[in-house]
Amino acid sequence: MARISKIAVLTSGGDAPGMNAAIRAVTRTALYNKLEVIGIKEGYRGMIEKLFIPLWSIDVSDIIQRGGTILKTARCMEFKTPEGRQIAYNNMKEIGVNGIIVIGGDGTFTGARIFNEEFDIPMIGIPGTIDNDLYGTDYTIGYDTALNTVVEAVDKIRDTASAHNRMFFIEVMGAEAGFIALRSGIAAGAEAIIIPEINNEIDKLNQLLESGRRQRASNIVIVAEGDKEGGAYKLANKVKERYPGYDIRITVLGHLQRGGSPSAFDRVSASRLGYAAVEALLDDQKSLMVGIQNNEIALVPFRKAIKLHKSVNQNLLEIADVLSS
């Protein structure tokens, strides 16, 4: 493998608070090691359409506290084709890039893995997704900030719920995983938490409602958007039909969870991962994700990060069940 001399960095998929901190760490670590740095705008689309900008220390001097991503992000169907990836490779070779760092989730890493199977430019991934659903890392960039955003919103909703003796169904992100719902539900003191990984939570909710133990000043039910009941609206309507005496309201937090200034934890994690990604390239690594396991940096092959399933913490499920009783 040729010595790394010029790297590129991009963000792809859904944005997450802390991506800018990762861009900053990648840029400054690379410059410290005498490497040139190119920022690719709009993810894989930028590789194909030559949306390149040089990155220097001054360019990342005031971004660690900003949400979103200064490099922007976009979906790119063309990169999913061999022809599109060939164009991207040719463009990288043309400007002399011989190492690429991608920040994103499983879709981003899937594209990077395929690209590394076809071409000789190594790619290293940094996990950036609020869902925290990537195997091989305890935390992904943006997850902690999203949790704090949800808890803050739920605390405010509980105030108005208490004033009117209402039951609120609050939908949070998590199309296939309930990590945000589970932890935010515990932190916010939710009376019930509905996530895709658990099949009988709606039955438990019905039992509690029937027993009358939910006649409290306020009742908060946290629902992951991908739950088997079809989300907060469908679940709330089912409960309303069965228990018409309850004053039920629904709040979907949506993209509110993606925005905002990253938490200190996300800033530090992103900085560690950005540094580790450049070090991995310098150590001739390729086709892997840098993650954090037991507070230590871990190198995880893309194929494992993408294919293996990350399970929810069973102890947290037990705690949620006990504390909501």
Tokens of 324: 């909501």
Residues 196 and 59 in one domain: no
Three-state SS at 192: strand
Report yes or no on 235 lying in a domain.
Answer: yes
Report yes or no on 150 lying in a domain.
Answer: yes
Taking 60 as the threshold, does the pLDDT of residue 122 lie above it? yes
Residues 32 and 96 in one domain: yes
Confidence band of 200 (pLDDT split at 50, 70, 90):
low
Report yes or no on 14 lying in a domain.
Answer: yes
Taking 70 as the threshold, does the pLDDT of residue 12 lie above it? yes
What's the average model confidence in pLDDT over 164-178?
Answer: 87
Taking 60 as the threshold, does the pLDDT of residue 217 lie above it? no
Report yes or no on 71 lying in a domain.
Answer: yes
* β-pair partners for 172: 224
Domain count, the chain: 2
The candidate with the shortest Cα–Cα distance to 26, out of 290, 214, 318, 277, is 277
* Per-residue pLDDT, 49: 97
Report yes or no on 72 lying in a domain.
Answer: yes
Question: Worst-scoring range by mean pLDDT, 18-22, 200-204, 220-224?
Answer: 200-204
Residues 247 and 178 in one domain: yes
- DSSP category for residue 40: E
C-alpha span between 308 and 263 (Å, rounded): 28
Residues 117 and 227 in one domain: no
CATH (domain of 10): 3.40.50.450
**Which entry of 131, 133, 144, 227 is annotated as an active-site residue?**
131
Contact (Cβ atoms closer than 8 angstroms) between residue 78 and residue 86: no
Residues 169 and 115 in one domain: no
Structure-model confidence comparison of residues 83 and 215, the more confident one:
83
Report yes or no on 318 lying in a domain.
Answer: no
Domain end residue (candidates: 200, 227, 259):
259
Report yes or no on 316 lying in a domain.
Answer: no
Instruction: Note the pTM of the prediction, 2 decimals.
Output: 0.93
The candidate with the shortest Cα–Cα distance to 178, out of 204, 199, 149, 163, is 199
Residues 191 and 232 in one domain: yes
Taking 80 as the threshold, does the pLDDT of residue 312 lie above it? yes
Residues 97 and 199 in one domain: no
* Amino acid in the structure at residue 325: S
C-alpha span between 66 and 77 (Å, rounded): 28
Strands (E), 225-273: 248-252
Rg of the chain's alpha carbons, rounded to an integer? 22
Residues 255 and 295 in one domain: no
Residues 148 and 253 in one domain: yes
- DSSP category for residue 119: S
- Kindly compute the dihedral angle of the four CA atoms of residues 114, 119, 125, 131, in this order, to the nearest 10 degrees: -20
Report yes or no on 253 lying in a domain.
Answer: yes
What's the average model confidence in pLDDT over 124-151?
Answer: 96
Question: Worst-scoring range by mean pLDDT, 31-40, 152-161, 178-187, 203-212?
Answer: 203-212
Residues 179 and 126 in one domain: no
Q: Which of 25-39, 157-171, 242-256 has the highest mean pLDDT?
A: 25-39
What's the average model confidence in pLDDT over 65-92?
Answer: 96
Length of the chain: 325
- Work out the angle at residue 180's Cα, subtended by the Cα atoms of residues 275 and 137, and round it to the nearest 5 degrees: 35
Taking 70 as the threshold, does the pLDDT of residue 213 lie above it? no
131 as an active site residue: the answer is yes
* β-pair partners for 169: 221, 250
Residues 180 and 281 in one domain: no
Contacts of 165 (CB under 8 A, 6+ apart): 217, 218, 247
Taking 90 as the threshold, does the pLDDT of residue 230 lie above it? no
Mean pLDDT of the chain: 92
Domain around 175: 144-259
* Per-residue pLDDT, 323: 84
CATH (domain of 219): 3.40.50.460
Q: What angle do the packed helices 264-282 and 19-32 form, to 10 degrees?
A: 40
Residues 88 and 122 in one domain: yes
